[in-house]
Structure 1
Protein backbone atom coordinates (compact mmCIF):
# COMPACT_ATOMS: atom_id res chain seq x y z
CA UNK A 1 0.00 0.00 0.00
CA UNK A 2 2.81 2.35 0.89
CA UNK A 3 4.64 1.60 -2.39
CA UNK A 4 1.47 2.18 -4.41
CA UNK A 5 0.99 5.54 -2.72
CA UNK A 6 4.62 6.46 -3.38
CA UNK A 7 4.31 5.50 -7.08
CA UNK A 8 1.09 7.48 -7.44
CA UNK A 9 2.59 10.53 -5.76
CA UNK A 10 5.73 10.26 -7.92
CA UNK A 11 3.70 9.97 -11.13
CA UNK A 12 1.61 13.04 -10.26
CA UNK A 13 4.70 15.11 -9.42
CA UNK A 14 6.50 14.04 -12.64
CA UNK A 15 3.37 14.98 -14.63
CA UNK A 16 3.32 18.40 -12.90
CA UNK A 17 7.02 18.86 -13.64
CA UNK A 18 6.46 17.95 -17.32
CA UNK A 19 3.75 20.60 -17.66
CA UNK A 20 6.00 23.23 -16.04
CA UNK A 21 8.91 22.18 -18.26
CA UNK A 22 6.87 22.45 -21.48
CA UNK A 23 5.59 25.89 -20.44
CA UNK A 24 9.18 27.00 -19.76
CA UNK A 25 10.44 25.77 -23.14
CA UNK A 26 7.56 26.66 -25.46
CA UNK A 27 6.04 29.75 -23.81
CA UNK A 28 9.09 31.99 -23.17
CA UNK A 29 7.17 34.92 -21.68
CA UNK A 30 5.51 32.78 -19.00
CA UNK A 31 8.58 30.54 -18.80
CA UNK A 32 10.66 33.31 -17.22
CA UNK A 33 8.58 32.91 -14.05
CA UNK A 34 7.52 29.27 -14.42
CA UNK A 35 11.12 28.01 -14.53
CA UNK A 36 11.53 29.02 -10.87
CA UNK A 37 8.84 26.45 -9.99
CA UNK A 38 10.58 23.59 -11.83
CA UNK A 39 12.37 22.34 -8.67
CA UNK A 40 9.11 22.24 -6.66
CA UNK A 41 8.04 18.67 -7.62
CA UNK A 42 11.56 17.43 -6.80
CA UNK A 43 11.57 19.24 -3.44
CA UNK A 44 8.16 17.77 -2.57
CA UNK A 45 9.21 14.23 -3.44
CA UNK A 46 12.67 14.42 -1.86
CA UNK A 47 11.31 15.87 1.38
CA UNK A 48 9.22 12.73 1.98
CA UNK A 49 11.20 9.82 0.52
CA UNK A 50 14.46 7.94 1.01
CA UNK A 51 17.56 8.56 -1.10
CA UNK A 52 17.11 5.54 -3.42
CA UNK A 53 13.59 6.64 -4.39
CA UNK A 54 14.82 10.21 -4.97
CA UNK A 55 17.51 8.96 -7.40
CA UNK A 56 14.91 6.89 -9.31
CA UNK A 57 12.58 9.93 -9.43
CA UNK A 58 15.35 12.10 -10.95
CA UNK A 59 16.25 9.44 -13.55
CA UNK A 60 12.60 8.97 -14.59
CA UNK A 61 12.12 12.75 -14.86
CA UNK A 62 15.18 12.93 -17.15
CA UNK A 63 13.71 10.23 -19.43
CA UNK A 64 10.30 11.92 -19.53
CA UNK A 65 11.81 15.34 -20.22
CA UNK A 66 13.87 13.86 -23.09
CA UNK A 67 10.77 12.29 -24.64
CA UNK A 68 8.50 15.33 -24.26
CA UNK A 69 10.95 18.21 -24.65
CA UNK A 70 13.81 16.69 -26.72
CA UNK A 71 17.49 16.84 -25.74
CA UNK A 72 17.27 20.59 -25.05
CA UNK A 73 15.08 19.88 -22.01
CA UNK A 74 17.75 17.77 -20.30
CA UNK A 75 19.93 20.70 -19.12
CA UNK A 76 16.91 22.31 -17.46
CA UNK A 77 15.91 19.04 -15.80
CA UNK A 78 19.43 18.40 -14.56
CA UNK A 79 19.95 21.90 -13.18
CA UNK A 80 16.55 22.41 -11.55
CA UNK A 81 15.86 18.75 -10.77
CA UNK A 82 19.10 18.06 -8.93
CA UNK A 83 18.86 21.41 -7.11
CA UNK A 84 15.30 20.62 -6.01
CA UNK A 85 16.22 17.07 -4.97
CA UNK A 86 19.08 18.32 -2.78
CA UNK A 87 16.92 21.04 -1.23
CA UNK A 88 14.12 18.57 -0.49
CA UNK A 89 16.48 15.99 1.02
CA UNK A 90 17.99 18.65 3.29
CA UNK A 91 14.49 19.70 4.36
CA UNK A 92 13.83 16.07 5.28
CA UNK A 93 16.97 16.18 7.45
CA UNK A 94 15.67 19.36 9.18
CA UNK A 95 18.48 21.59 7.92
CA UNK A 96 18.04 25.35 8.25
CA UNK A 97 17.27 27.65 5.35
CA UNK A 98 20.80 29.03 5.10
CA UNK A 99 22.26 25.53 4.67
CA UNK A 100 19.61 24.72 2.05
CA UNK A 101 20.32 27.97 0.20
CA UNK A 102 24.09 27.41 0.12
CA UNK A 103 23.82 23.71 -0.83
CA UNK A 104 21.20 24.34 -3.50
CA UNK A 105 23.24 27.22 -4.94
CA UNK A 106 26.38 25.05 -5.15
CA UNK A 107 24.49 22.28 -6.97
CA UNK A 108 22.96 24.80 -9.39
CA UNK A 109 26.37 26.43 -9.91
CA UNK A 110 28.07 23.11 -10.72
CA UNK A 111 25.33 22.36 -13.27
CA UNK A 112 25.68 25.83 -14.76
CA UNK A 113 29.46 25.53 -15.15
CA UNK A 114 29.32 22.00 -16.60
CA UNK A 115 26.66 23.01 -19.12
CA UNK A 116 28.65 26.09 -20.09
CA UNK A 117 31.77 23.96 -20.68
CA UNK A 118 29.85 21.30 -22.64
CA UNK A 119 28.07 23.80 -24.93
CA UNK A 120 31.36 25.63 -25.56
CA UNK A 121 33.45 22.50 -26.19
CA UNK A 122 31.04 20.24 -28.09
CA UNK A 123 28.47 22.57 -29.65
CA UNK A 124 30.86 25.50 -30.23
CA UNK A 125 28.34 27.87 -28.71
CA UNK A 126 29.55 30.25 -26.01
CA UNK A 127 26.63 32.18 -24.56
CA UNK A 128 28.93 34.78 -22.96
CA UNK A 129 30.76 35.46 -26.25
CA UNK A 130 27.46 35.66 -28.13
CA UNK A 131 26.07 38.13 -25.61
CA UNK A 132 29.21 40.29 -25.78
CA UNK A 133 29.16 40.12 -29.60
CA UNK A 134 25.59 41.45 -29.57
CA UNK A 135 26.68 44.32 -27.30
CA UNK A 136 29.64 45.05 -29.62
CA UNK A 137 27.33 45.19 -32.64
CA UNK A 138 25.00 47.61 -30.82
CA UNK A 139 27.96 49.81 -29.87
CA UNK A 140 29.23 49.89 -33.45
CA UNK A 141 25.79 51.00 -34.68
CA UNK A 142 25.62 53.70 -32.01
CA UNK A 143 29.16 54.86 -32.88
CA UNK A 144 28.25 55.22 -36.56
CA UNK A 145 25.16 57.24 -35.64
CA UNK A 146 27.24 59.64 -33.49
CA UNK A 147 29.83 59.96 -36.27
CA UNK A 148 27.15 60.80 -38.84
CA UNK A 149 25.87 63.48 -36.47
CA UNK A 150 29.34 65.04 -36.30
CA UNK A 151 30.10 63.93 -32.73
CA UNK A 152 33.01 61.61 -33.42
CA UNK A 153 35.04 62.61 -30.32
CA UNK A 154 32.14 62.03 -27.94
CA UNK A 155 31.44 58.74 -29.69
CA UNK A 156 35.02 57.57 -29.11
CA UNK A 157 34.89 58.42 -25.39
CA UNK A 158 31.60 56.57 -24.86
CA UNK A 159 32.84 53.61 -26.90
CA UNK A 160 36.05 53.35 -24.85
CA UNK A 161 34.05 53.33 -21.60
CA UNK A 162 31.79 50.57 -22.86
CA UNK A 163 34.78 48.55 -24.07
CA UNK A 164 36.27 48.69 -20.58
CA UNK A 165 32.94 47.55 -19.17
CA UNK A 166 32.81 44.60 -21.58
CA UNK A 167 36.36 43.57 -20.64
CA UNK A 168 35.32 43.70 -16.97
CA UNK A 169 32.33 41.46 -17.67
CA UNK A 170 34.64 38.91 -19.33
CA UNK A 171 36.87 38.93 -16.24
CA UNK A 172 33.95 38.59 -13.81
CA UNK A 173 32.19 35.68 -15.56
CA UNK A 174 32.99 33.26 -12.66
CA UNK A 175 31.60 35.74 -10.12
CA UNK A 176 28.48 36.30 -12.22
CA UNK A 177 27.91 32.53 -12.31
CA UNK A 178 28.20 32.33 -8.52
CA UNK A 179 25.96 35.32 -7.82
CA UNK A 180 23.33 34.31 -10.39
CA UNK A 181 23.19 30.79 -8.85
CA UNK A 182 22.56 32.23 -5.39
CA UNK A 183 19.90 34.61 -6.72
CA UNK A 184 18.06 31.85 -8.63
CA UNK A 185 18.04 29.45 -5.66
CA UNK A 186 17.01 32.27 -3.31
CA UNK A 187 13.92 32.95 -5.45
CA UNK A 188 13.24 29.22 -5.73
CA UNK A 189 13.17 29.08 -1.93
CA UNK A 190 11.09 32.23 -1.70
CA UNK A 191 8.41 30.84 -4.04
CA UNK A 192 8.51 27.14 -3.18
CA UNK A 193 8.79 26.92 0.59
CA UNK A 194 5.45 28.60 1.39
CA UNK A 195 3.79 26.05 -0.94
CA UNK A 196 5.59 23.21 0.84
CA UNK A 197 4.03 24.29 4.14
CA UNK A 198 0.60 23.74 2.57
CA UNK A 199 1.60 20.12 1.92
CA UNK A 200 2.50 19.62 5.56
CA UNK A 201 6.28 19.80 5.15
CA UNK A 202 8.04 21.44 8.07
CA UNK A 203 9.92 24.51 6.89
CA UNK A 204 12.00 26.72 9.18
CA UNK A 205 11.30 30.44 8.89
CA UNK A 206 14.00 32.85 7.73
CA UNK A 207 15.79 34.86 10.33
CA UNK A 208 14.78 38.52 10.12
CA UNK A 209 17.19 40.46 7.90
CA UNK A 210 18.23 42.64 10.85
CA UNK A 211 19.43 39.59 12.83
CA UNK A 212 21.68 38.18 10.11
CA UNK A 213 25.39 38.77 10.52
CA UNK A 214 28.08 37.32 8.27
CA UNK A 215 31.29 35.80 9.71
CA UNK A 216 33.88 38.47 10.54
CA UNK A 217 36.51 36.37 8.73
CA UNK A 218 34.97 37.53 5.42
CA UNK A 219 36.22 41.03 6.19
CA UNK A 220 39.79 39.75 6.53
CA UNK A 221 39.50 37.85 3.25
CA UNK A 222 38.25 41.04 1.60
CA UNK A 223 41.14 43.10 3.01
CA UNK A 224 43.65 40.44 1.90
CA UNK A 225 42.18 40.44 -1.62
CA UNK A 226 42.44 44.25 -1.76
CA UNK A 227 46.00 44.08 -0.42
CA UNK A 228 46.88 41.48 -3.07
CA UNK A 229 45.69 43.84 -5.81
CA UNK A 230 47.79 46.68 -4.37
CA UNK A 231 50.98 44.66 -3.82
CA UNK A 232 51.13 42.46 -6.90
CA UNK A 233 49.54 44.73 -9.55
CA UNK A 234 48.77 41.67 -11.72
CA UNK A 235 48.57 42.21 -15.48
CA UNK A 236 45.12 42.22 -17.05
CA UNK A 237 44.15 38.81 -18.38
CA UNK A 238 46.52 36.80 -16.16
CA UNK A 239 45.22 34.04 -13.87
CA UNK A 240 46.19 36.01 -10.73
CA UNK A 241 44.40 39.13 -12.01
CA UNK A 242 41.19 37.19 -12.78
CA UNK A 243 41.31 35.36 -9.45
CA UNK A 244 41.81 38.52 -7.38
CA UNK A 245 39.18 40.48 -9.34
CA UNK A 246 36.55 37.76 -8.89
CA UNK A 247 37.38 37.22 -5.23
CA UNK A 248 37.21 40.96 -4.55
CA UNK A 249 33.91 41.32 -6.41
CA UNK A 250 32.20 38.45 -4.55
CA UNK A 251 33.45 39.69 -1.17
CA UNK A 252 32.26 43.22 -2.03
CA UNK A 253 28.77 41.78 -2.54
CA UNK A 254 29.01 40.19 0.92
CA UNK A 255 29.94 43.59 2.38
CA UNK A 256 26.93 45.18 0.65
CA UNK A 257 24.67 42.44 2.06
CA UNK A 258 26.06 43.05 5.57
CA UNK A 259 25.45 46.77 5.11
CA UNK A 260 21.82 46.11 4.20
CA UNK A 261 21.35 43.99 7.33
CA UNK A 262 22.51 46.98 9.38
CA UNK A 263 20.06 49.27 7.53
CA UNK A 264 17.20 46.93 8.45
CA UNK A 265 18.49 46.79 12.06
CA UNK A 266 18.81 50.59 12.26
CA UNK A 267 15.25 51.31 11.10
CA UNK A 268 13.83 48.50 13.26
CA UNK A 269 15.44 49.95 16.38
CA UNK A 270 13.98 53.35 15.58
CA UNK A 271 10.52 51.91 14.99
CA UNK A 272 10.39 53.24 11.43
CA UNK A 273 8.25 51.84 8.65
CA UNK A 274 9.48 48.64 6.97
CA UNK A 275 9.21 50.33 3.57
CA UNK A 276 12.27 52.53 4.24
CA UNK A 277 14.92 49.77 4.35
CA UNK A 278 13.22 48.01 1.42
CA UNK A 279 13.42 51.21 -0.66
CA UNK A 280 17.09 51.63 0.27
CA UNK A 281 17.72 48.02 -0.82
CA UNK A 282 16.12 48.73 -4.21
CA UNK A 283 18.19 51.92 -4.66
CA UNK A 284 21.31 49.97 -3.70
CA UNK A 285 20.69 47.55 -6.57
CA UNK A 286 19.86 50.30 -9.09
CA UNK A 287 22.28 53.10 -8.17
CA UNK A 288 26.06 52.40 -8.04
CA UNK A 289 26.68 55.20 -5.52
CA UNK A 290 24.37 53.51 -3.01
CA UNK A 291 26.21 50.23 -3.63
CA UNK A 292 29.52 51.73 -2.48
CA UNK A 293 28.02 53.54 0.53
CA UNK A 294 26.18 50.43 1.78
CA UNK A 295 29.32 48.34 1.15
CA UNK A 296 31.40 50.69 3.34
CA UNK A 297 28.68 50.51 6.01
CA UNK A 298 28.88 46.71 5.87
CA UNK A 299 32.67 46.83 6.35
CA UNK A 300 32.29 49.11 9.39
CA UNK A 301 29.55 46.91 10.86
CA UNK A 302 31.64 43.73 10.47
CA UNK A 303 34.81 45.40 11.72
CA UNK A 304 33.43 47.30 14.70
CA UNK A 305 30.23 45.39 15.50
CA UNK A 306 27.84 48.34 15.19
CA UNK A 307 24.77 46.23 16.00
CA UNK A 308 26.34 44.86 19.18
CA UNK A 309 27.48 48.31 20.29
CA UNK A 310 23.97 49.72 19.81
CA UNK A 311 22.48 46.92 21.91
CA UNK A 312 25.00 47.49 24.71
CA UNK A 313 24.21 51.21 24.84
CA UNK A 314 20.58 50.34 25.48
Structure 2
Protein backbone atom coordinates (compact mmCIF):
# COMPACT_ATOMS: atom_id res chain seq x y z
CA UNK A 1 0.00 0.00 0.00
CA UNK A 2 2.74 2.41 0.95
CA UNK A 3 4.70 1.48 -2.19
CA UNK A 4 1.62 2.10 -4.32
CA UNK A 5 0.99 5.45 -2.60
CA UNK A 6 4.62 6.40 -3.09
CA UNK A 7 4.45 5.66 -6.81
CA UNK A 8 1.15 7.52 -7.17
CA UNK A 9 2.52 10.58 -5.39
CA UNK A 10 5.67 10.37 -7.49
CA UNK A 11 3.63 10.44 -10.69
CA UNK A 12 1.50 13.29 -9.34
CA UNK A 13 4.42 15.49 -8.32
CA UNK A 14 6.27 14.70 -11.54
CA UNK A 15 3.18 15.81 -13.47
CA UNK A 16 3.02 19.06 -11.50
CA UNK A 17 6.70 19.64 -12.19
CA UNK A 18 6.24 19.01 -15.93
CA UNK A 19 3.34 21.48 -16.04
CA UNK A 20 5.45 24.17 -14.36
CA UNK A 21 8.38 23.34 -16.65
CA UNK A 22 6.22 23.76 -19.75
CA UNK A 23 4.96 27.09 -18.45
CA UNK A 24 8.55 28.22 -17.88
CA UNK A 25 9.51 27.04 -21.36
CA UNK A 26 6.72 28.72 -23.30
CA UNK A 27 6.04 31.78 -21.10
CA UNK A 28 9.33 33.73 -20.87
CA UNK A 29 7.99 36.11 -18.22
CA UNK A 30 7.35 33.10 -15.94
CA UNK A 31 10.95 31.87 -15.93
CA UNK A 32 12.18 33.87 -12.90
CA UNK A 33 9.22 32.80 -10.74
CA UNK A 34 9.54 29.25 -12.04
CA UNK A 35 13.09 28.89 -10.75
CA UNK A 36 11.93 28.87 -7.13
CA UNK A 37 8.55 27.19 -7.84
CA UNK A 38 9.93 24.28 -9.89
CA UNK A 39 11.87 22.73 -6.96
CA UNK A 40 8.71 22.58 -4.82
CA UNK A 41 7.35 19.26 -6.21
CA UNK A 42 10.74 17.72 -5.38
CA UNK A 43 10.66 19.32 -1.92
CA UNK A 44 7.20 17.98 -1.13
CA UNK A 45 7.93 14.49 -2.43
CA UNK A 46 11.31 14.26 -0.69
CA UNK A 47 9.78 15.53 2.56
CA UNK A 48 7.32 12.60 2.49
CA UNK A 49 9.57 9.81 1.21
CA UNK A 50 13.23 10.89 1.71
CA UNK A 51 15.85 11.34 -0.98
CA UNK A 52 16.20 7.87 -2.57
CA UNK A 53 12.73 7.77 -4.22
CA UNK A 54 13.24 11.42 -5.18
CA UNK A 55 16.21 10.46 -7.32
CA UNK A 56 13.88 8.28 -9.39
CA UNK A 57 11.52 11.23 -9.72
CA UNK A 58 14.41 13.40 -10.90
CA UNK A 59 15.45 10.71 -13.39
CA UNK A 60 11.90 10.59 -14.75
CA UNK A 61 11.82 14.38 -15.05
CA UNK A 62 15.17 14.39 -16.87
CA UNK A 63 13.88 11.69 -19.22
CA UNK A 64 10.89 13.88 -20.03
CA UNK A 65 13.16 16.79 -20.98
CA UNK A 66 14.51 14.71 -23.88
CA UNK A 67 11.18 15.21 -25.68
CA UNK A 68 11.53 19.00 -25.59
CA UNK A 69 14.29 21.51 -26.17
CA UNK A 70 16.92 19.75 -24.10
CA UNK A 71 19.32 22.71 -24.16
CA UNK A 72 16.84 24.64 -22.00
CA UNK A 73 14.84 22.07 -20.06
CA UNK A 74 17.67 19.70 -19.08
CA UNK A 75 19.89 22.15 -17.17
CA UNK A 76 16.83 23.78 -15.60
CA UNK A 77 15.53 20.38 -14.44
CA UNK A 78 18.89 19.40 -12.92
CA UNK A 79 19.17 22.81 -11.23
CA UNK A 80 15.78 22.72 -9.50
CA UNK A 81 15.90 18.96 -8.89
CA UNK A 82 19.13 19.13 -6.88
CA UNK A 83 17.94 22.13 -4.89
CA UNK A 84 14.51 20.66 -4.21
CA UNK A 85 15.84 17.28 -3.07
CA UNK A 86 18.36 18.89 -0.69
CA UNK A 87 15.70 21.16 0.84
CA UNK A 88 13.20 18.32 1.12
CA UNK A 89 15.76 16.00 2.69
CA UNK A 90 16.66 18.61 5.31
CA UNK A 91 12.99 19.10 6.21
CA UNK A 92 12.48 15.31 6.29
CA UNK A 93 15.43 14.97 8.70
CA UNK A 94 14.03 17.64 10.99
CA UNK A 95 16.85 20.13 10.54
CA UNK A 96 16.37 23.73 11.68
CA UNK A 97 15.04 26.26 9.15
CA UNK A 98 18.41 27.96 8.81
CA UNK A 99 20.24 24.65 8.32
CA UNK A 100 17.65 23.73 5.70
CA UNK A 101 18.18 27.11 4.05
CA UNK A 102 21.92 26.48 3.95
CA UNK A 103 21.46 23.11 2.28
CA UNK A 104 19.06 24.64 -0.20
CA UNK A 105 21.58 27.35 -1.05
CA UNK A 106 24.24 24.69 -1.63
CA UNK A 107 21.80 22.84 -3.87
CA UNK A 108 21.08 25.92 -5.94
CA UNK A 109 24.80 26.72 -6.20
CA UNK A 110 25.54 23.17 -7.41
CA UNK A 111 22.69 23.42 -9.89
CA UNK A 112 23.78 26.82 -11.18
CA UNK A 113 27.33 25.51 -11.65
CA UNK A 114 25.90 22.64 -13.68
CA UNK A 115 24.02 25.16 -15.84
CA UNK A 116 27.21 27.18 -16.37
CA UNK A 117 29.22 24.08 -17.32
CA UNK A 118 26.41 22.79 -19.55
CA UNK A 119 26.32 26.05 -21.47
CA UNK A 120 30.11 26.17 -21.67
CA UNK A 121 30.83 22.56 -22.62
CA UNK A 122 27.69 21.25 -24.32
CA UNK A 123 26.30 24.34 -26.03
CA UNK A 124 29.82 25.58 -26.79
CA UNK A 125 29.03 29.10 -25.59
CA UNK A 126 32.14 30.75 -24.16
CA UNK A 127 31.16 32.79 -21.13
CA UNK A 128 34.30 34.91 -21.20
CA UNK A 129 33.85 35.85 -24.84
CA UNK A 130 30.17 36.69 -24.30
CA UNK A 131 31.04 38.87 -21.32
CA UNK A 132 33.73 40.67 -23.33
CA UNK A 133 31.19 41.34 -26.08
CA UNK A 134 28.73 42.72 -23.51
CA UNK A 135 31.46 44.92 -22.03
CA UNK A 136 32.42 46.33 -25.43
CA UNK A 137 28.77 46.96 -26.31
CA UNK A 138 28.22 48.73 -22.98
CA UNK A 139 31.30 50.89 -23.52
CA UNK A 140 30.19 51.89 -27.02
CA UNK A 141 26.66 52.66 -25.83
CA UNK A 142 27.93 54.81 -22.95
CA UNK A 143 30.20 56.71 -25.36
CA UNK A 144 27.25 57.46 -27.61
CA UNK A 145 25.10 58.63 -24.70
CA UNK A 146 27.82 60.91 -23.31
CA UNK A 147 28.47 62.23 -26.82
CA UNK A 148 24.80 63.18 -27.15
CA UNK A 149 25.08 65.22 -23.96
CA UNK A 150 28.15 67.02 -25.27
CA UNK A 151 30.68 65.31 -23.01
CA UNK A 152 33.90 65.29 -24.96
CA UNK A 153 36.40 64.18 -22.31
CA UNK A 154 35.20 60.64 -21.70
CA UNK A 155 38.48 59.05 -20.66
CA UNK A 156 37.95 59.16 -16.90
CA UNK A 157 34.30 58.11 -17.12
CA UNK A 158 35.16 55.24 -19.47
CA UNK A 159 37.91 53.98 -17.16
CA UNK A 160 35.55 54.10 -14.18
CA UNK A 161 32.85 52.22 -16.09
CA UNK A 162 35.37 49.65 -17.28
CA UNK A 163 36.66 49.09 -13.74
CA UNK A 164 33.12 48.57 -12.45
CA UNK A 165 32.30 46.08 -15.20
CA UNK A 166 35.53 44.17 -14.59
CA UNK A 167 34.75 44.09 -10.87
CA UNK A 168 31.35 42.59 -11.61
CA UNK A 169 33.06 39.97 -13.76
CA UNK A 170 35.42 39.12 -10.90
CA UNK A 171 32.52 38.88 -8.47
CA UNK A 172 30.54 36.48 -10.63
CA UNK A 173 30.86 33.62 -8.06
CA UNK A 174 29.49 35.89 -5.32
CA UNK A 175 26.58 36.94 -7.51
CA UNK A 176 25.92 33.26 -8.18
CA UNK A 177 25.98 32.49 -4.45
CA UNK A 178 23.66 35.38 -3.56
CA UNK A 179 21.18 34.34 -6.25
CA UNK A 180 21.26 30.80 -4.84
CA UNK A 181 20.65 32.08 -1.30
CA UNK A 182 17.65 34.16 -2.37
CA UNK A 183 16.05 31.40 -4.44
CA UNK A 184 16.64 28.84 -1.68
CA UNK A 185 14.85 31.09 0.81
CA UNK A 186 11.88 31.67 -1.49
CA UNK A 187 11.57 27.97 -2.34
CA UNK A 188 11.76 26.94 1.30
CA UNK A 189 9.28 29.61 2.42
CA UNK A 190 6.67 28.56 -0.17
CA UNK A 191 7.32 24.88 0.63
CA UNK A 192 6.71 25.52 4.32
CA UNK A 193 3.38 27.16 3.50
CA UNK A 194 2.28 24.22 1.36
CA UNK A 195 3.46 21.54 3.82
CA UNK A 196 1.69 23.31 6.68
CA UNK A 197 -1.55 23.36 4.67
CA UNK A 198 -1.33 19.86 3.19
CA UNK A 199 0.23 17.99 6.12
CA UNK A 200 -1.05 20.12 9.02
CA UNK A 201 2.47 20.99 10.15
CA UNK A 202 3.85 24.15 11.75
CA UNK A 203 7.03 24.79 9.78
CA UNK A 204 8.16 28.40 9.71
CA UNK A 205 11.26 30.53 9.78
CA UNK A 206 12.15 31.88 13.23
CA UNK A 207 12.14 35.68 13.62
CA UNK A 208 14.88 37.45 11.70
CA UNK A 209 16.16 38.86 14.99
CA UNK A 210 17.27 35.36 16.03
CA UNK A 211 19.48 34.83 12.97
CA UNK A 212 23.10 34.13 13.93
CA UNK A 213 25.82 32.89 11.63
CA UNK A 214 28.69 30.62 12.77
CA UNK A 215 31.52 32.54 14.45
CA UNK A 216 34.03 31.03 12.01
CA UNK A 217 32.70 33.40 9.33
CA UNK A 218 34.37 36.30 11.16
CA UNK A 219 37.78 34.64 10.93
CA UNK A 220 37.28 33.89 7.26
CA UNK A 221 36.29 37.54 6.73
CA UNK A 222 39.35 38.92 8.51
CA UNK A 223 41.77 36.52 6.78
CA UNK A 224 40.35 37.60 3.42
CA UNK A 225 40.56 41.23 4.55
CA UNK A 226 44.28 40.86 5.32
CA UNK A 227 44.92 39.46 1.85
CA UNK A 228 43.18 42.46 0.26
CA UNK A 229 46.03 44.64 1.56
CA UNK A 230 48.54 42.54 -0.38
CA UNK A 231 49.35 43.51 -3.94
CA UNK A 232 47.96 40.44 -5.69
CA UNK A 233 47.88 39.77 -9.41
CA UNK A 234 44.34 40.77 -10.56
CA UNK A 235 44.42 37.97 -13.14
CA UNK A 236 45.31 35.22 -10.68
CA UNK A 237 42.87 32.66 -9.33
CA UNK A 238 43.99 33.46 -5.78
CA UNK A 239 43.00 37.11 -6.23
CA UNK A 240 39.54 36.11 -7.48
CA UNK A 241 39.12 33.72 -4.55
CA UNK A 242 40.12 36.40 -2.01
CA UNK A 243 37.86 39.12 -3.39
CA UNK A 244 34.88 36.78 -3.67
CA UNK A 245 35.31 35.33 -0.18
CA UNK A 246 35.78 38.82 1.28
CA UNK A 247 32.67 40.15 -0.48
CA UNK A 248 30.46 37.19 0.43
CA UNK A 249 31.46 37.12 4.11
CA UNK A 250 31.05 40.90 4.19
CA UNK A 251 27.47 40.51 2.98
CA UNK A 252 26.86 37.89 5.68
CA UNK A 253 28.25 40.23 8.34
CA UNK A 254 25.92 42.97 7.10
CA UNK A 255 22.95 40.62 7.37
CA UNK A 256 24.12 39.75 10.89
CA UNK A 257 24.20 43.46 11.73
CA UNK A 258 20.65 43.95 10.46
CA UNK A 259 19.54 40.94 12.49
CA UNK A 260 21.00 42.56 15.62
CA UNK A 261 19.14 45.80 14.88
CA UNK A 262 15.89 43.81 14.74
CA UNK A 263 16.85 42.10 18.01
CA UNK A 264 17.68 45.38 19.76
CA UNK A 265 14.51 47.06 18.52
CA UNK A 266 12.48 44.17 19.93
CA UNK A 267 14.47 44.29 23.19
CA UNK A 268 13.72 48.01 23.54
CA UNK A 269 10.09 47.56 22.45
CA UNK A 270 10.57 50.01 19.62
CA UNK A 271 8.22 50.28 16.70
CA UNK A 272 8.69 47.58 14.04
CA UNK A 273 9.04 50.37 11.51
CA UNK A 274 12.49 51.29 12.90
CA UNK A 275 14.38 48.09 11.99
CA UNK A 276 12.54 47.89 8.66
CA UNK A 277 13.60 51.49 7.96
CA UNK A 278 17.20 50.53 8.79
CA UNK A 279 17.10 47.83 6.10
CA UNK A 280 15.67 50.25 3.53
CA UNK A 281 18.23 52.96 4.33
CA UNK A 282 21.11 50.45 4.22
CA UNK A 283 20.03 49.38 0.73
CA UNK A 284 19.42 52.94 -0.49
CA UNK A 285 22.52 54.49 1.13
CA UNK A 286 25.12 51.70 1.14
CA UNK A 287 28.10 54.07 1.04
CA UNK A 288 26.94 55.67 4.30
CA UNK A 289 25.44 52.80 6.28
CA UNK A 290 26.69 49.52 4.87
CA UNK A 291 30.02 49.40 6.69
CA UNK A 292 28.48 50.70 9.92
CA UNK A 293 25.91 47.89 9.91
CA UNK A 294 28.65 45.41 9.03
CA UNK A 295 30.72 46.49 12.04
CA UNK A 296 27.65 45.97 14.24
CA UNK A 297 27.35 42.46 12.84
CA UNK A 298 31.01 41.72 13.51
CA UNK A 299 30.76 42.96 17.12
CA UNK A 300 27.53 41.04 17.69
CA UNK A 301 28.86 37.77 16.32
CA UNK A 302 32.41 38.05 17.65
CA UNK A 303 31.64 39.31 21.16
CA UNK A 304 28.18 37.85 21.72
CA UNK A 305 26.65 41.31 21.98
CA UNK A 306 23.02 40.19 22.07
CA UNK A 307 23.83 37.56 24.70
CA UNK A 308 25.28 40.25 26.94
CA UNK A 309 22.21 42.42 26.44
CA UNK A 310 19.88 39.48 27.15
CA UNK A 311 21.79 38.66 30.36
CA UNK A 312 21.52 42.29 31.47
CA UNK A 313 17.74 41.98 31.23
CA UNK A 314 17.81 39.07 33.65
Calculate the TM-score normalised by the size of structure 2: 0.91
Q: Is this contact kept in 1: 2:46–2:54, CA < 8 A?
A: yes
Q: Is this contact kept in 2: 1:132–1:166, CA < 8 A?
A: no
Distance 1:251 1:28, change over 3 A: same
Partner of 1:248: 246
* 2:264 aligned with 1:237: no
Distance 1:210 1:172, change over 3 A: same
Separation of aligned partners in 2, 1:92 and 1:115: 27
Worse overlay, 129-138 or 19-28: 129-138
SS in 2 for 1:180: helix
Which stretches in structure 1 are left out of the alignment for 5+ residues? none
Distance 1:51 1:264, change over 3 A: closer
Deviations 1:276-305 (A, max 9, x none): 222322332343223222112212222333
Matching of residues 80-91 of structure 1 within 5 Å: 80-91=80-91
Distance 1:3 1:75, change over 3 A: same
Partner of 1:162: 161
How far the C-alpha of 1:132 sits from its partner, in A, is 5.6
Give the count of matched residue pairs: 312
SS in 1 for 2:67: helix
Q: Is this contact kept in 1: 2:79–2:115, CA < 8 A?
A: no
Structure 1 residue ranges, 4+ long, deviating more than 6 angstroms after superposition? none
Deviations 1:255-288 (A, max 9, x none): 1011011110121112122232223223323432
Partner of 1:208: 207
Distance 1:188 1:152, change over 3 A: same
Distance 1:203 1:79, change over 3 A: farther
How far the C-alpha of 1:46 sits from its partner, in A, is 1.0
How far the C-alpha of 1:114 sits from its partner, in A, is 2.6
Distance 1:69 1:203, change over 3 A: farther
Deviations 1:65-103 (A, max 9, x none): 332454420111111012112221222221221221111
Separation of aligned partners in 2, 1:104 and 1:143: 42
Separation of aligned partners in 2, 1:282 and 1:131: 31
Calculate the TM-score normalised by the size of structure 1: 0.91
Distance 1:210 1:123, change over 3 A: same
* Cα root mean square deviation, aligned: 2.1
Deviations 1:229-251 (A, max 9, x none): 22x32121122211211111111
